[in-house]
Amino acid sequence: MAGPTASAPQTLLQVVQTCDNFTVDHNDPAAEPLVPWRLAADLSSPAIGLLRPAIVAQLREENTRASDSPSWEFAEHAGRLCVGFAPHLKTSLARTRVMKELCERWRDEGRWADVIGPRKWRDEMYPVFRNPFGAHDAPTAEAQLAQLLDQDDAADDGGNYAFMMERAACALFGVVTYGVHMSVYEADEDAPRSCRMWVPMRARTKQTWPGYFDNSVAGGIPSGLGIFESLVKESMEEASLEEDIVREHARPVGTISYFYRHVCATLVITAGADGLCILGLLRDGFNRRYVFDLRTPPGADKSRFIPKPLDDEVESFELLPLEEIVQRIRHGLFKANTALVILDFMVRQGYLTPDDEPDYHDILTHMHTRFDYEIW
């Protein structure tokens, strides 16, 4: 598969607007009506996602198929529809079971194949939290497996964790997903603006962003794995960085957040035995990324800090000066969210300042959105 073609140069604001490219506006008559998804269909229940009309219609159809014990509840509040789990689905395990069965069946039926079809399916569970900005308190993978095997439907402990679901399907249900990014770099002590960063090229066989440049280390946070533990895992899998190096030298430096809506090239509607099957829908994503830096210490054995491909997701690494990285970003050669991580690095390190960047405030605003969550 071919890699990207350089585009005409963009401003840095245009770069971040490419990634954070959607806002929620329930009062815009021209906007697609997004329906809040709550744990229960009442206003006191926490909002966990936003649903497109096609998904809401399919959930109504699911209830007609299981009329004896429907999984979904629909209610209107001040003329606005809301969707929630049925009252009998009161525990994280019960919700997880419903979502697992539903998403696997939709995959097998060929629904939304551009999002959850066999080629897109990740077979990886992501956590969903009551408060998307709250604690990551999902049980460990071992505890979740034991709960599933024991069919333990004990009441939830009141934590932030609500349930888990297939990673690919998170886009269909408009939930917030989480990831880790780390910039591995070198800088000379006597030259403050001498930063050089390790940049990987994504494998040209990857389903998403093939051949684009990326952050030194990046990956999702699966359900049951902590934020820093996810970074340790991804650092070895993607960059061959040893665990002791990451634990000793990686530093948490903040977060970025953005809403990325990708429009597929085509929208195909086919008629099947069970009615309309809509393929090629928009792929939406509320994204929050935890950001880390790892600087090669002066005088250290640099060979231990050189990232190298280990799995089939990365083709190669280059050590590039920051100026060269910025030029490639402006020409559209970097994965969209990676560009935000690098711009955040530049702000924190003083390479991007309000004196030399007229769009400084707007750039920062786009990199630290709250997804309009207060109006979900």
Q: What is the pLDDT of residue 269?
A: 36
Residue with tokens 């690098």: 342
Q: What is the pLDDT of residue 279?
A: 33
User: What residues form DSSP beta bridges with 376?
Assistant: none
Rounded Cα distance, 161 and 288, in Å: 16
**334 contacts 322 by C-beta, under 8 angstroms:** no
Nearest to 38 by CA among 157, 153, 132, 105: 132
Nearest to 234 by CA among 303, 154, 179: 179
Q: What is the pLDDT of residue 68?
A: 85
Tell me how far the alpha carbon of residue 362 is from its chain's centroid: 22
H/E stretch holding 345 reads: helix 336-349
Q: What is the pLDDT of residue 27?
A: 78
Q: What is the pLDDT of residue 275?
A: 36
Instruction: Reply yes or no on domain 12-375 having CATH 3.40.190.10.
Output: no
Rounded Cα distance, 183 and 133, in Å: 23
Rounded Cα distance, 166 and 226, in Å: 18
Rounded Cα distance, 137 and 176, in Å: 15
Q: Which residue intervals of 135-253 are DSSP H helices? A: 141-150, 170-173, 227-239, 243-249
Q: What is the pLDDT of residue 267?
A: 37
pLDDT in tens, the chain (376 residues): 678 999 999 999 999 999 999 888 877 877 788 999 999 999 999 999 999 999 999 999 999 988 789 999 999 998 899 999 999 999 999 999 999 999 999 999 999 999 999 999 999 999 999 999 999 999 986 777 676 666 666 666 679 999 999 999 999 999 999 999 999 999 988 776 789 999 999 999 987 899 999 999 999 999 999 999 999 999 999 999 999 999 999 999 999 999 988 754 333 333 333 333 333 344 558 999 999 999 999 999 999 999 999 988 899 999 999 999 999 999 999 999 999 999 999 999 999 999 999 999 999 999 999 999 999 9
What does DSSP assign to residue 134? Answer: S
HSE-up (13 A, CA, CB side) for residue 376: 28
pTM above 0.85, yes or no: yes
Rounded Cα distance, 229 and 244, in Å: 12
Q: What is the pLDDT of residue 278?
A: 34
Extents of the domains making up the chain? 12-375
Rounded Cα distance, 279 and 268, in Å: 5
